[in-house]
Chain A
Amino acid sequence: MSAKKKSPIKLQNKLTGGEALIKCLENHGVEYIFGFPGGVVIPIYDAIVNTKKIKSILVRHEQGATHMADGYARATGKPGVVLVTSGPGATNTVTGITNAMMDSIPMVVFTGQVTTPMLGKDAFQEADMFGCTLPFVKHSYLVKDANDIPRVVKEAFHICNTGRPGPVLVDLPKDTTSGICTANLDPNMDLPGYTVQTTINKTDVKNMAKMFKGSKKPLLLVGHGVVIAKADQEVKELAEKLQSPVVNTLLGKGGFPETHPLSLGMLGMHGTAYANKALVNCDLILSIGCRWDDRINGNNDEFCIGAKKLHIDIDPAEIGKVVKVDAAVVGDAKMVVKELIKHVKPLDTNAWKQECDFYKKEFPLHYSTDKGLPAQYIIDQIYKISKGKALVSTDVGQNQMWSSQFYKIDKRDTWYSSGGLGTMGVGLPAAIGMQFGRPNELVVAIVGDGGFQMTAQELTTAFIHKLPVKVFILDNKYLGMVRQWQELFFDNRLSGVDLTGNPDFVKLAEAYGVKGIRISSVKGAPEKIKAAFAHNGPVVVHCEVVKCGNVFPMIPAGKSAYHMIVEPPKTKIK
């Protein structure tokens, strides 16, 4: 690195807004800034030159920066930090911000902005980021005075990672970051409208506990809130005390060990058949930190008919939003479950557990290797070879659903999937973010050929920073999930899903300086997966899987779990 020159905008013993920003980020324990510079953020990038505590990660597209910050946040529990320039740099973060909002991820996104006198005048690279992200952020700021920077940063970090986490956008005009900041770097926050609930209503908990009385078929529904609240131990204790089977959502993976005898795995559209069978047969369901997403409920009118519905959520707006509940407690999952354990008594669930075990035996997840290399086999092997201990990120589509089915997660903060927004392209950058956060662990990205190509350029980021992420591309030369829907619901009239002409992903990896491995058949596949894991650096494993594999079980969109399809249908689904 060349000798560091003194900053030309540095004024004697005074901090610029950009320097104040970086100092504040240091004070908040920020390790990495994922970003991409441009004209109006040069004052901030100038301040980065002098920091020893924060590493600036130069991505190849701003969307990648947001997903890396997201992956970092999910793997560490700390907010991910993004820094981009105004205009296109900023608008490129909108998908990642929305993804973080939908999945309740702590993230602070700093966007450069044109100077304050130019605001609203269609200046070069001006985009109204404050305005255009309003529906997608937990909160946002347009900072017009350098002296506000320390307070805004403190508030942003507080807001993004308390209560129900979410992204905070901080729009920074260039004259704010190049101006002088003389404010105290640790000021008081000014948030009269934002209170974090630190207590729970114990009467509500007691009322909820009463609901369990007489239940013979209870079911616990573990959502992302359990993972965020680090309530996994408490939930395990509750399930074991009640002897209640447990299902988890896509983002609830890690909230309860999926290898636990009481676990029925993931429920919902592509959940396990036994989880969905339990759902339609339970007499009580307690959602812990799950927002009853339509991929779980399908059709609310037919959702858990006759069962008592209970809900624990830190966000009061979630109570009654989708499902009318018989009892609810608003609060942190860890606190509520801890209290609930005290008030519930063990239930007689032997017959119910036997029923669930019967479903497990009768409707297991399965695949066949008779007709080539199935994607499920690859994931199954990744699971077995990594002994279930890898940090896993998925992309969106079939790869995601198969991963959620076949990679069982036992520990929280080891799973990344884009649940709410379903953002194709997250898999690789999210894995990179996870690897930054947990450098000594095995990080595996399981992606499809479609999603991978949306953010493939971040292989460079993995290569430059020597991040040993293992990227498995399940290449079926289709946008598989859409093709599956077209096959099942649109008379197989395939339209806009053919990815014939994909690049040679091994050669592509090698062009990026990354090791490439190809798996084209079941034979030898485990050895190649082992070789990928053994390689001390990033690897792309190009898995040429069967072209027309479908994800089952499946509940058609808008239908209830009663309409689950366990096997490929022989006639057209109505």
Chain B
Amino acid sequence: MKTKDKSNIHTISFLVANKPGVLVRVALVFARRGYNIDSLVVSPSLNEKFSRMTITAQGDPEILDQIIKQASKLVDVICAGEHSEEDAVAREMMLVKVKYTSTSKAIILKQVKKYQTSIIDEDDNTIIISQIGTTDDLDEFEEILKKHVVIEMVRSGKLVMVKGQEST
């Protein structure tokens, strides 16, 4: 796996009309320039007319700035902006399914406790662990679990919210 240059990862939040096709319109602005979207979260906002879209992507800041400007022009985009760790909090969620043996179970449970994650499903051979944290937290825990047999992993993508009185 390529190591990510963290300084080049950008988190952009969009408030968009809750209408068919909006996701494609926004995605096209990225795709047209050959930009890959690393993660994407779309869900309704407090006002059901609008959805919140959070996108993380890697790339040259100037080009991403252009992408934000182009996306802001879309009629269905109410607002768009980039957020940094200073002005906003960010969390991600991860579900991991791990295969365990009688010997490995105790070690896994110890890690679960250490990383304040929780087991949300368990059977004779597997457990599903859920973790909510920063991207770094999740990356770290993922590395730990890779020492065991990970059957599958799903991450939600990053959610951000601006700190203080201002809205995102």
Contacts and interface: CB of A to CB of B under 8 A. Distances in A.
B163 interface: no
Nearest to B77: A193
B16 A193 contact: yes
A315 B70 CA distance: 9
A317 interface: yes
A321 interface: yes
A135 interface: yes
Contacts of A316: 69, 72-73
A193 B21 contact: no
Interface string B88-127: 0000000000000000000000000000000000000000
Contacts of B66: 317, 320-321
Contacts of B74: 139, 193
Interface in A66-122: none
B138 interface: no
A173 to B, nearest CB: 13
B2 interface: no
A193 B75 contact: yes
Interface range on chain B: under 10, 10 to 19, 20 to 34, or 35 or more?
20 to 34
Interface string A183-206: 000000001111000000000000
Contact of B21 (A134, A135, A138, A320): A134
Interface in B126-148: none
A193 B24 contact: no
A142 interface: yes
A501 interface: no
B69 A193 contact: no
Contact of B25 (A134, A142, A194, A315): A134
A142 B20 contact: yes
Contacts of A135: 28, 32
A193 B25 contact: no
Contacts of B72: 316-317
A139 B19 CA distance: 13
A193 B78 contact: yes
B28 A134 contact: yes
Query: In this complex, which of B16, B20, B66 has the most chain A Cβ atoms within 10 angstroms of its Cβ?
Result: B66
Interface string A292-321: 000000000000000000000001110011
B6 interface: no
B134 to A, nearest CB: 30
Contact of A192 (B17, B21, B28): B17
B49 interface: yes
Contacts of B82: none
A159 interface: yes
Given A316-B69, A317-B66, A139 B75 contact: yes
Contacts of A317: 66, 69-70, 72-73
Nearest to B79: A193
A140 B16 CA distance: 15
Contacts of B73: 315-317
Nearest to B70: A317
A192 B21 CA distance: 16
A193 B74 CA distance: 8
A193 B20 contact: no
A131 B79 CA distance: 23
Contact of A138 (B17, B62, B75): B75
Contact of A130 (B21, B50, B75): B21
A325 to B, nearest CB: 13
A134 B32 CA distance: 11
A130 B25 CA distance: 11
A134 B24 contact: yes
Contacts of B62: 320
A446 to B, nearest CB: 33
A67 B139 CA distance: 54
Given A317-B69, A321-B66, A193 B28 contact: no
B78 A192 contact: yes
A107 to B, nearest CB: 15
A131 B69 contact: no
A193 B32 contact: no
Nearest to B50: A192
Contacts of A321: 66, 69
Given A135-B32, A138-B75, A139-B75, A193 B17 contact: yes
Nearest to A144: B20
Interface of B: 16-17, 20-21, 24-25, 28, 32, 49-50, 62, 65-66, 69-70, 72-79
23 contacts: A130-B21, A131-B24, A134-B21, A134-B24, A135-B28, A135-B32, A138-B75, A139-B76, A140-B21, A159-B75, A192-B17, A192-B49, A193-B16, A193-B74, A193-B76, A193-B77, A193-B78, A194-B75, A316-B69, A317-B66, A317-B70, A320-B62, A320-B65
Given A135-B32, A140-B21, A193-B77, 9 more contacts: A131-B21, A134-B28, A193-B17, A193-B79, A315-B73, A316-B72, A316-B73, A320-B66, A321-B66
For the complex of A and B, the 10 pairs showing the least CB-CB separation, nearest first, are: A317-B69, A139-B75, A193-B78, A194-B75, A317-B70, A193-B77, A193-B76, A192-B78, A193-B75, A317-B73
